Amino acid sequence: GQGDQCAPSRLLNEYLYQERVLDLFLEYELLIIQRMVKRGWAVVVTDYEGFGTPGVHTYVNRLASG
């Protein structure tokens, strides 16, 4: 998604996210990430550029992408 609430770093503690009626999704990657961590693997999960910053971020933004 395009919202800051969709940033992976904000969802690492939630499997199911809902804030408004049309703002609902399942963080299915979290199950895989937790399984890797339990096995002792080092796991890196990054946000896309611009998530969590003021204004529209550049991920999937045709004007910012050029």
Angle among Cα 33, 54, 15 to the nearest 5 degrees reads 25
Is 37 within a domain?
Answer: yes
Average pLDDT of the residues in 29-58: 82
Q: How far is CA 28 from CA 23, 46, 50, in A?
A: 16, 16, 22
What is the reported pTM?
0.55
Is 17 within a domain?
Answer: yes
Is 18 within a domain?
Answer: yes
Is 12 within a domain?
Answer: yes
Q: How confident is the model at residue 48 (pLDDT cuts 50, 70, 90)?
A: confident
Which residue range is the domain that position 22 belongs to?
4-61
- Average pLDDT over all residues of the chain: 75
Is 66 within a domain?
Answer: no
Domain count, the chain: 1
